[in-house]
């Protein structure tokens, strides 16, 4: 998100050899504007919230939450491959 300080993220990305690109709105843009690549992230979050346990922070441990995300994404991919 362009509104947050991203120095810590950029340092971690450089350490792990990731490339991070922050997409910002054009200067002077008014109203709604489609930003490239942002819809991919928003769509993925939408797919994950179909699983009830991922709608809220029910999990107390991060490894259980990560496992539920992997299960949800795996089920989504399996469903797409089974019913093209």
Task: Tell me the pLDDT tens digit for each residue of 53-79.
Answer: 787 777 788 888 888 888 888 888 887
CB 75 within 8 A of CB 53: no
Q: Residues 19, 21, 25, CA angle at the centre, nearest 5°?
A: 180
The token pair that represents 58 in the structure block? 């029910």
Q: Return the DSSP state at 57.
A: T
CB 36 within 8 A of CB 23: yes
Element (H, E) at 37: none
Give the Å distances, CA to CA, from 45 to 17, 38, 39, 69. 25, 11, 10, 10
Task: Tell me the pLDDT tens digit for each residue of 16-59.
Answer: 998 877 777 777 777 777 776 667 777 888 888 888 778 777 77
Beta-carbon neighbour count of residue 35 at 10 Å? 14
């Amino acid at each position: 998100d362009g509104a947050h300080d991203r120095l810590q993220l950029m340092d971690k990305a450089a350490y792990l050899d990731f490339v991070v690109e922050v997409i910002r709105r054009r200067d002077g843009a008014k109203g709604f504007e489609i930003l490239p690549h942002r819809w991919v992230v928003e769509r993925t979050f939408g797919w994950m919230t179909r699983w009830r346990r991922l709608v809220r922070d029910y999990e107390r441990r991060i490894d259980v939450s990560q496992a539920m995300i992997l299960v949800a994404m795996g089920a989504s991919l399996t469903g797409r491959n089974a019913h093209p």
